[in-house]
Every structure is written in structure tokens, then in C-alpha cells.
Structure 1
Amino acid sequence: MKSTIIHIIFILLVGLSSINPVSAQDKVIRQLRSSLLLQTDSAGYTDVLNQLGMQYHLSNADSCFWYAVKARAIATRQQDKRGLAGALNNLSIFFSLKDNQKQAIEYGFKALELYRELNDQPNICQVLMNQSVFHIYEGMKPESDQYLYQAMNLGKSLMQDSIYSLVLINFAIRYEDDSTRRDSVKWAMAKSKEIIRKYPGSRDIYYIHAFEADEWMKEGEGAKAVQRIHELADDALKKGLIVVAIDLLDHIDMYKQRGYPADAIPAKEKAFAIGISAGFLNMMLPTVMGLYRHYSKRNNEAKKDYYGKALLEVVRQRLKLRSSNHMNYLDYFLKEQELNEWQLSNQVQEQRIARTNIKRKSRQQLIGFLVGFLLLIGGFTLARYRSYKNLRRQEEMLREMNDAISEKNQQLSVHDDFKNKLIAILARDFREPLNDIIRVSALFRNKDMDQASMQQIVDEAVISSRKTLVIFDNILRWIRSQLSGFVYSPAPCNLLLSFQQAMTATGHQPIALHVPPGLLLAGDQEMLSFVNRSLLHCAAVLSAGAGNIEVTAIEDELVSVVITSEAAAFTPAMATHLFEYREGDDLSVTLVICKDFMDKMGGQIRADVAGQQLKLEYRLPVFGESGHN
């Protein structure tokens, strides 16, 4: 999925930029800079600034940002909607390159509104496609699909159908692996290829040929597909299309992931080398990570050190970006608009005073009446203005109070739910250990006990105390996980040892463990122990002591842990809602906490019924592979 998203982003940026090959880019930039001096109006000047920002976004994101902000400032002062839309679109692309998709979506949406006011259909189509990419990268697939479908519908009616070709390519790549859309994907690529014939030299043809190579690979012609991809990448490099070449080389790794025995390392190294030369280090994280892991497994210290340093630099840049607070230029723009409105109001007032002075000079006999009338109007206007300001201030205060009350209500609801869960788990988990301690303490009153009986009672007290401490530790861990500031850090967890400890703590009917020794999961030890103990307890309670309980661990991409028990009265409908909170049910509170823990560890948990057997299953990654990425 991540690979597909990267493909779409590269196609989008190349499509929007309309850039010449990199070898000619400096010439284009010099020409644009020279044309700045020849512009006689602000609209033309703003348009050239936006073109410069678009030219720079593939080679120097900071320069793209600088030109976009400058163009936005001029367009705002001159009320140039088209220039402002172009500047906001450049800002949207800049923040996407900086991995700040939320800010990119915000600026892109504002640019879309302006283009819609201007009824600029081609740019509306482009920004809709752009928003689709930003939303899919942010994990908002339904919204992304809506934007993509809007772009598809609008692209059909465009006279400049090269934009529609790019939308079709994005659609095909998005749903390339969806078997239910095979016919739609083939139609989209065929239609795009038909359109591209009208535009010789278009970059879109590379992605069409790459899609055809993907189809060869699916049909079993892997060698032919790999050779075609290399030919396309080399041709793109010759023409200076760095981004296109990087995107094409990524297909080799995709083929390997789909089972074809292709050597993806040379392609990755080549993509990394040309990406570094073009200044795309921040976008090379998956490539650098794959190379580092490859050479780490083969103990190639030289290349491991080289790619390790590159990986460290990428992570450092991303952490620096995420920790910095970007100024919300959209809010700043709105404040500037408000200031401009006040300035316009002041100009109107000045013109009114000037007209009054002219009338006063020409009509001296009416000066008294005019002054009185103006004072009356001024007083009435001031009174109405103050009333209006007071009303707005009261509305603002009321809205802030309502927001504060709503937020506090939400906090109270969360805290109340937290307390209910805590009380329920205390009531269930501490009842049995405390009863054991009370029973053992009562036995101490019997003075006729011998030394062996006394030692047995002491041992029972120690065991009960240890159970209580373990439960205390688990509950304290859950409480800490609910508080703000909690950071989950996966660690190796011995699955077999965890279940053995859980069996000791539960003490239910026989439990059969089918867990490979030494199997380590990536998770939190306390959370995993709590989940194992609670699921065993749940299986024992629901089975009512009938039959054995089996625990099975199956290792695939993730480790699936299945706890099976007899539950004749349990239905599939009940299994569907097993991990939901039910008021008055202590067991449901424990299972809800189990689901909370699995969510925090990045795992999955569910229940299923097959015949008279209840299966409780959770999935976690293996430590040492995806568990600590």
C-alpha cells in the first residue's frame, strides 16, 4: 500500500508541475527570473512567482515555500484570486513534501475553493486529484476516494484532456491490485494511452508502459517486465526525469514482494543515488531502510555504515519537522483580509469627510444643519457599532463557555468510564487473592498446628500475596497506559513463559499449550501478561469447566495466538460483541481493557464461534522483524 501511495504522489507532482527535464530546469528558472523584471502589473508578477515556486518544488522545497509566501502576500493585497489560488496550491505541495499532510490538505482545500469561484475547471481537476493523494497518505481512504471520483467525473468534460489522462493513471494505480475492478483499470489505462497519443513527449507514457510491464509480471513474464522497467528508467534518466526514474525503479522491489525472484538491491541503490543527487533524501526512507536491512543481514559493514548514516539523517529530519510548529499561514491570510476590510472602511470614511468639506465650502448657509446632522448620524452609528461589538463579544464568550463545558463533560465522561473499569477490575481481580489472605490469616489462630501445617499456610500466604502484587502491577500498568504522556515501546516477550505464568495465576481446568519455545512477540510484557491471563480466565468462565482449554500459536507475517474452549451456549452474535463494554458485566470490562492493550501494542483481537467451540484470537508481530521497526 505504501508503495502505491508513493507512486501516486510522484505522478501527481509531475503532473501538476509541468516541469521541463532537470537538465533544462536551471535555464527555465533563469528565464522566469528575468521575466520578473519585465512584468508591468501585479497579476503578471504574481503569476511568474507562482511558476518559479512550482519549478523549485522538485529541487528545493524551501525556495518553493519562499516564492509561494511572497506570491500570496502580493495576491492578497491586490485581491488577485487566481494568484492567491496558485500560491496556496504551491504551499500545499510544499507541506506534502515536508510530510505534513494535514497542512497540505488545508491549503489545498482553500486553493480548491478559489478555483471553484473562478470556475477554473482544469485547475479544479488537478487540485481534486492532489487532495485525493494527500488524504490517502493521511490514511483517510473514504475521503480520498471521493476526491478521486470527483476528479474523474470532471476530467471527462475537460477540453485539455491531458489532465484527464493523469487522473486515469492515478485511478489505475490506486486499484491495480483490486480484482473487482480489473475491467475498470484496463479501460482507464487504455483511455489514458489513447489521450497521450495527442501529446508526444508526455511523461505519462512512462507510467502507462510501467503498468503494461506490471501486467506482464502477473502473467508470468517476470524477466520481460524487469527488463522493460530498466529500459524505461534509463530512458527517463537520459531525459532528466529524476522523479520518474525513481518511481519506475521501485517496481522491481514490488515484483520481488509479489514473489518474482528479482534482485531489487541494485535498483534500490540506483534510485537512492539519483535521489540523493536531486535532493530527495527526505522521501527515500523506505529505500534507505530496505538497503540498511539487506546489508545488515549480510554483515557488509561498509555499506551498512553508509546507509545507516543516511537512515539516521532521514529520521532526524523527520523528527525535526514533526517537533517544529509551522505557522498557519491560512489564519494569517484571513487576518490580513480583515485588516484590508478595515483599511477599505477607513478610505470610505475619508472620502465621506472630503465630500462633506467640499459641500461645506460651497454651501455655508447649511453648515450648522449639516454638522448637527453628521453628529447625530455619527452618534447613532457609534451607538449601533458599540452595541454590535458588545453583542459579538457576548456571543464569543458564550461560545467559549459552551465549548469549555462540552470539553469538561467529555473529560468527565472519560474519567467516569475509566473509574468504572478500574472499580470493576479491582472487584474481580482482588476478590480471590484477598479471600485467600483472610483465610490463611484465620488459620494462624489455630494454635494446635504442627510445623508442616504452619509452613504450608505460610506458603499459601506468600502465593496469595504474590498474586495480589502481580494484579497490582497489571492494574497500575493499565492506569499508566490511560494517562497522557504514555509512550508505547515494544520489547521482546516470551509467549510460552507468559502463558505459563498466566496458567499459574488463573488455576483453572487443564490447559494445553501448543506454543513454540523461544517465540518472542513485540509488545509490552505487563500488557501481554494481563491479556493472556484475562483470556484464559474468560475461556474458563464461558466454558463452565467443561473440557480442556487449548492455546495455539501460529507464526506467519504476524503471530496468531488462538485460545480454544468449549462454550455450548455461546453464539456468533455474542462473539461479535464480546469485546464491547456491557454495564454490570465485570468480565466485559476486563475484555475491553484487553482490547485497549492490543490497540496500544498495534495488534488485533477478536472472538469467533465454530460449532460448540469458542475461539479467542489475537495477533501481534514477531520481535526482531516488524515488531521493532
Structure 2
Amino acid sequence: MKRTRIYTILLMFAGLMAGRASFAQDNVIRQLRTDLLRQPDSTLYTDILNQLGMQFHLSNTDSCFWYGVKARDIATRRGDKRGLAGALNNLSIFYALKANTKQAIEYGFKSLLYYRELEDQPNICQLLMNLSVLHDMDGMKPESNQYLYQAMELGKTLAQDSIYSLVLINYALRFEQDSTRRDSVKWALGRSKEIIRKYPGSRDIYYIQALEADEWMQEGEGARAVQKINELADKALKEGLVVVAIDMLDHIDTYRQNGYPADAIPAKERAFAIGSRSGYLNMMLPTIASLYRYYANSNNEAKKAYYGRALWELVRKRLEMKSRNYMNYLDYFLKEQELNEWELSNRVQEQKINKANMKRKSRQQLIGFMIGVLLLMGGFTYARYRSYKGLRRQERLLREMNDAISEKNQQLNIHDDFKNKLIAILARDFREPLNDIIRVSAMFRNKDMDQASMQLIIDEAVVSSRKTLVIFENILRWIKSQLSGFVYNPAPCDLLLLFEQAMHYTDQQRIRLDIPSGLYLAGDQEMLLFINRSLLHCAVMLSEGEGPIVVHAMQEELVRVDITFTVKAFTPQMAAHLFEYRRGDDMSVTLVICKDFMDKMGGHISAEVQGVQLRLGYSLPSFN
């Protein structure tokens, strides 16, 4: 039985374990609000805002979001990295509750980076577990398992083992139905129970007892299991744990699916009512859909219309969110780039203002010096000496400011060059696929075409559309690699498979692959695929259809990949500058991106002329 929602809730509890689990939630919130009014220090003020946001995620998502945004703004303004990490964690939780897993992963990963910089091991463990849950919700199982294993390894070393208990519960839920892991799941639950005994009132006990009820159900004690689940839901509601109560009620429908004759409709209606009042409807799409189908089949028109409206509204919001997420990535990155440029411009203006203030201060010192000359000749030497030292200090500061301004201007030129490259590659790589789509669409106007021809045209349109999407993803990957905060993590890449995939985008008949099977590079798969496809395309364009194109790979200290082909009138000087940017040359933009990607991966790319042949090659470490 898969419990995605249980995963969603478990990732929130780690922030509530530090000494507050034994109090009722309302009392905790009341005490935190009182402490908030007593804190003049912004660091402690931000910490309390983050604690309030963490408390409210169990009962009111809007309040969780409000406190998270307020804490983020204050922490950003004061440069408080710990407060900013906590605020980003709260925002990650909010978007997870709103079923926006991509945004939740983004905020969670940023929070993890800050906690790693602070070397905060308990919160690092919590964020690793959160990211495991979010990747599992988004269908990325391998990544999810990797984060979970990292959290378990780190949790063993923590003195605050309440977080380790939560990691063990997630492990048990993840692999509950895996028959090969029954012993490890049983051990994880037993170890978690031992830890929970140290923390009376911990909310983890709800999920431990729910798992025990599941075991009763599997052993044939269905009535006992249903009674226990209802008791847990009632208790959670009394404590203000809205989402926990919804999770408990979902177990009854799971029992019905596994063959026990339980009436799950009242439990679903109760869960829907709770979620509707508290703002958690984004988590309840399966529940609403099930209620709608049930009343549609039972001809209850009133409730069918009621749940139908709720289902339509929820699906509409999700479609809007999905469209907004997938269509505005490029615009988001360009606007972020523009914001960075404006920030840099503001810093330059501040430096100019500081320079003017220093000049005004210098004039004031000069006036004081003249008055000192008139008052006392004996003070002239002393005053002159001070003026001389002040001028030397000002010259040094002015020189440093000029150097800083020159450096900022260089950065502005780099950003401008980045935008030029982006525009050039958009113009080159999107022109051909879009022209193909337009051409295929125009052929639909021919009404005399038979069905076979129509199908062929449709297939061509599908191929062109897929090419456009692949190019778009490559451009996004390059943009991300150029922005600040990009982290390169090498992974095993099957070289033969990557070249076979790259050959789908060029003339395959002229290409011969001489690559041993099982040769893995340590690199980024998307970057390598872009490099391979671009080098093959460059080889086809430069060879002008003459002779074969041979791809050879061999492993020495590094893995060396060479693409050799025949060229006309190509000099060693041209080869030496092949990977440099030349304005107006579309191919040079692609090759510059290839060199950028290779630099990111710590490799080397080159071009060499040997007689009438040109050899394009690169070197990377072997993953073995």
C-alpha cells in the first residue's frame, strides 16, 4: 500500500522535535507569539517566526506561508543564514502541501545548502529526509532512495536521535511492502520505538501505532484495526493536528482495498470536510475523485454535484500551476539575470555616492587646515602632516574603488556576452525545428491527402516537436550552469549509449563508432549528450559530405574521445581558435558552450589538423 501523503506529513515533524513535543500545539503557538513580542533582536525574532511557521503547517497552510515569507525577508536583509535556511525549509513544506513538488524541491535544496555551510548536522539530516520524500512524490525513485540512505547514515551519528527516529519511520513506510526488506523494516520500527520512549508526546507515535494497526489488518483483525485508526484520528484532531487526522482516516480506505468490508465513504467525507476547512485540498485529489465516482454511481445528484465542483476546481488549479511551472522557466531565469544586473548597477551607484561624500569630507578638512594656519603657526606642521596622511589614505581608497568598479564593469560585459550567446543559440537551434513544424502544419491544408500521407505528416510533426523540446532542455541546462549556485555532481555516463543517442540528430550513415562497450565517464549526462551531438553536427557541416566520420574512444589515465573526419582548406590556426566565440558565427556559439560544459566537468576539449583530416576530441576521468 503506497502512502504518499504519509510521506508528506512525516517530512514536517523534524522541526517540532527540539524540546516542544510534550506540549499541545495551541499552547506552543500561544507561547511563541508571546515570545515574539518580547524579542528586540532580529536574529531571535526570525527564529521564532520560523518556529511559528513550522507549527502552523499542521493546521493552517496560509499561516505557515506568511511566517515563512516574513522570516525570509528579515533574514535576507540582515544576512542571517540560519534564519534564511529555516524560512526556506518552511516554504518548501508549504509548497509540498500545495502539491507543487518542483518548487518544494527547489526551496528544500537551497535550505540544505545553507545548513551545510553552517555545518548544522541535525537540520542537514532533516533536509536530506525531506528531499527524499519530495523526490519520491515527484516519481524520482533513485534520487529519493539516495537522499534517504544519506539521511540514515547521518542520523546514526546525531546526539539528538529524535530526528533519527523519524528517518527510520520513513524507511519503514518506504519499504513496507518489499518482502526482501522485512527484517530491516522490522528493525527500523523497533529502533524507532526505543527512541520515541525518550520523548513523551512525540507525534511520531501516531504513525508507529498506525503501522501496528496495519499489521493487525494483515493478521485478520480488521475491526480492531479500524477502531484504532478512528481513535488516532480523533486524538489528532483534539491536538490540532489536522493533516495527521486526514492521514489516519486514509487507512480505512486502504483496508477496504485490501479486502476488508469497511465502509470508507464516511471516513473520506470526514477527511474532505477537515481538509476543506484547513486549506489542505491540494493533497486530497484521490479522495475527492473517489467520492465523486461513488455518488455518481449511486445516483445521488446533490452530492455528485457538490463533489464534482470541488473536483473541477482542484483540477483547474493544478493545471494552471503545471502550465505556469513548465512554460515560464526561461522567462524566470532571464528575469533573475536582469535582477542581478540591476543589483550590480545599484552597487556602482552607491560607490559613486560614497566617493562624493569622501570628496566633501576632504574639502571640510582643507577648510579646517586653513583656519589652523591663521590661528597658530606652530600648529601648521602638525595640521599639514595630518592632511598629507589623509590624502594618501583617500588616494588608496579611490584606487581600490576604481579597481572594484573596473571589476564590476568586467562582470557586466560577461553578462552581456552571456545574453548574446543565448540569443544566438536560440536563433540557430530553434530555427530549423520550428520551420519543420510550420512546414508540416501548412501541408495539412491539402484536403486531398490520403490517410497514410496524413499519418506521415503527423509523425514528422511529432519528431520536430521532440527535437524542439530536447534543444530547449539543453539550453536550460546551459543557463543553469552559468548562474550562481550551480553545483556540479559527476555521475557514471555510458559513452557508447550517449553517442548512439546523439546520432539520432545527424547523418547516421556516415558515422562509425569505435567505442568499447561498458566504458563509463565521470560527468554530467545532459552536458555530455549536448557535447557529443554538437561535435557530430560540427563534423557533418565541416566535412561537407566527404568521407566517413569516425568516433574512437580509448582509456589511459583519462578517457580520450576523438572524432576524425576529412576537411578542405582547414588550417592549424583555424583549429586553434575553433572553440572561441566569434560574433555572427552560429556554430562558434555551440562550440563555446561545449567548452564551458567541459570546463564545468574538469575536462579538456581540443581541435587538431592532421593533413587533410580534422580531429575533434575531449578527455574526462573514467568513472571506474
TM-score in terms of structure 1 length = 0.61
Partner of 1:243: 243
Most deviating of 215-224 and 378-387: 378-387
Per-residue CA shift, 1:19-69, capped at 9, x if unaligned? 989x96555444433332211211122122222222333333233222222
Aligned residues: 449
Structure 1 residues 478 and 373, CA gap change in structure 2 (3 angstroms) = same
Separation (CA, whole Å) in 1 of partners of 2:206 and 2:394: 73
Measured after TM superposition, the shift of residue 286 of structure 1 is 1.0
**Do structure 1's residue 394 and structure 2's residue 413 form an aligned pair?**
yes
Deviation string 1:124-168 (CA, Å, 9 cap, x unpaired) is 211221111122222222222222111111111112111111111
Question: Is the 8 Å Cα contact of residues 355 and 398 (structure 2) preserved in structure 1?
Answer: no
- The one-letter code of the counterpart of 1:13 is M
Change in Cα spacing, 1:354 to 1:291, as seen in structure 2 (3 Å) is same
Aligned counterparts, 1:420-499, within 5 A: 469-481=450-462
Offset of 1:269 from its aligned partner? 1.9
Residues 77-106 of structure 1, C-alpha deviation per residue, up to 9 Å, x if partnerless?
222222222112112222222222222222
Aligned-pair distance for 1:380? 4.8
Q: Is the 8 A contact 1:76 1:337 kept in 2?
A: no
Residue 216, structure 1, aligned to residue 216, structure 2:
yes
Is 1:7 aligned to residue 26 of structure 2?
A: no
Give the corresponding residue for 1:305: 305
Distance 1:317 1:122 in 2: 36
Q: How does 1:38-77 map to 2 (within 5 A)?
A: 38-77=38-77
Q: Could you say which residue in structure 2 is the equivalent of 1:105?
A: 105
Q: Secondary structure at the match of 2:450?
A: helix
- In 2 relative to 1, CA 379–157 (structure 1 residues): closer, same or farther, beyond 3 Å? closer
1:215-250, CA deviations, whole angstroms, 9 ceiling, x for partnerless residues?
Answer: 333344444433433333333334443322211221
Q: Secondary structure at the residue paired with 1:244? A: helix
Q: Which amino acid in 1 is paired with 2:84?
A: L
Aligned counterparts of 1:338 and 1:30: Cα–Cα separation in 2: 43
1:107 Cα deviation from its structure 2 partner: 1.7
Q: Is the 8 A contact 2:365 2:387 kept in 1?
A: no
The structural deviation recorded for 1:372 is: 7.0
Distance between the aligned counterparts of 1:337 and 1:165, measured in 2?
A: 44
Aligned partner of residue 39 in structure 1, secondary structure = coil
Partner of 2:528: none
Query: d(CA) in 1 for partners of 2:417 and 2:353?
Result: 33
Distance in 1 of aligned mates of 2:16 and 2:434: 50
Displacement after TM superposition at 1:477 (Å): 3.2
The answer on whether the counterparts of 1:8 and 1:170 sit within 8 Å (CA) in structure 2 is yes
**What secondary structure does 1:177 align onto?**
coil
CA distance in 2, matches of 1:332, 1:129: 34
- In the TM superposition, 1:79-90 aligns within 5 A as 79-90=79-90
Instruction: Please give the secondary structure, in 2, of the residue aligned with 1:99.
Output: coil
Q: How much has 1:390 moved relative to structure 2?
A: 4.1
Q: Quote the Cα distance in structure 2 between the aligned partners of 1:382 and 1:83.
A: 32
Identity, in percent, stands at 53
Q: 1:73 to 1:218 in 2, by over 3 A?
A: same
Q: Which runs of 5+ in 1 are unaligned?
A: 427-464, 486-576, 586-629
Post-superposition offset of 1:195: 1.0
Displacement of 1:173 in angstroms is 0.5
Any residues of structure 2 matched to 1:308-457 within 5 Å, and which? 308-322=308-322, 361=369, 363-366=382-385, 377=396, 380-381=399-400, 384-385=403-404, 387-407=406-426, 410-411=429-430
| CA shift in 2, pair 1:407/1:116, >3 Å | same
Q: Is the 8 A contact 2:59 2:240 kept in 1?
A: no
Counterpart code for 1:9: T
Q: CA 1:238–1:67 in 2, change beyond 3 Å: closer, same or farther?
A: closer
Separation in structure 1 between the aligned mates of residue 338 and residue 39 of structure 2, nearest angstrom:
27
Asked if the contact 1:107–1:330 (Cα under 8 Å) also holds between the matched residues in 2, the reply is no
CA 1:237/1:383 → structure 2, altered by over 3 Å: closer, same or farther?
closer
Q: Give the Cα separation in 2 of the matches to 1:334 and 1:372.
A: 35
Distance 1:331 1:66 in 2: 26
CA displacement at 1:480 relative to structure 2: 4.7
Give 1:316 shift.
Answer: 3.5
Distance 1:261 1:78, change over 3 A: same
Corresponding residue number in structure 2 for 1:516: none
Greater radius of gyration (CA): 1
Match of 1:524 in 2: none
Cα separation, partners in 2 of 1:36 and 1:171, compared to 1, 3 Å: same
Residue 142 of structure 1 corresponds to which residue in structure 2?
142
Between the aligned partners of 1:345 and 1:146, the Cα distance in structure 2 is 47
Q: Where in structure 2 are the equivalents of 1:567-606 lying within 5 Å?
A: 583=508
Q: How does 1:222-301 map to 2 (within 5 A)?
A: 222-301=222-301
Q: State the match for 1:496 in structure 2.
A: none
1:166/1:353 Cα in 2 relative to 1: closer, same or farther (>3 Å)?
A: farther
Please tell me the residue identity of whatever aligns with 1:478. D
Q: Counterparts of 2:292 and 2:35 in 1: how far apart (Å)?
A: 46
Q: How does the TM-score come out when normalised to structure 2?
A: 0.61
Distance 1:75 1:390, change over 3 A: closer
Unpaired runs of 5+ in structure 2? Answer: 370-378, 467-499, 511-624
The change in CA–CA distance for 1:393 and 1:350 in structure 2 (over 3 A counts) is: closer
Q: Which residue of 2 aligns with 1:614?
A: none
Distance apart, 1:170 and its partner CA:
0.7
1:169, CA displacement in angstroms?
0.5
1:242-278 Cα distance to aligned partner (Å, 9 max, x none): 3222112212222333344433223222222222233
Q: Which amino acid aligns with 1:392?
A: Q
Aligned amino acid, residue 288 of structure 1: I
Whole-Å Cα distance in 2 between the matches of residues 310 and 197 of structure 1?
42
C-alpha deviation, 1:199, in angstroms = 1.6
How far is the alpha carbon of 1:192 from its aligned partner?
0.6
Aligned amino acid, residue 475 of structure 1: L
CA distance in 1, matches of 2:154, 2:350: 38
CA 1:136 to 1:406, structure 2 compared with 1: closer, same or farther past 3 Å?
Answer: farther
Q: Is the 8 A contact 2:101 2:134 kept in 1?
A: yes
* 1:441 matched residue in structure 2: none
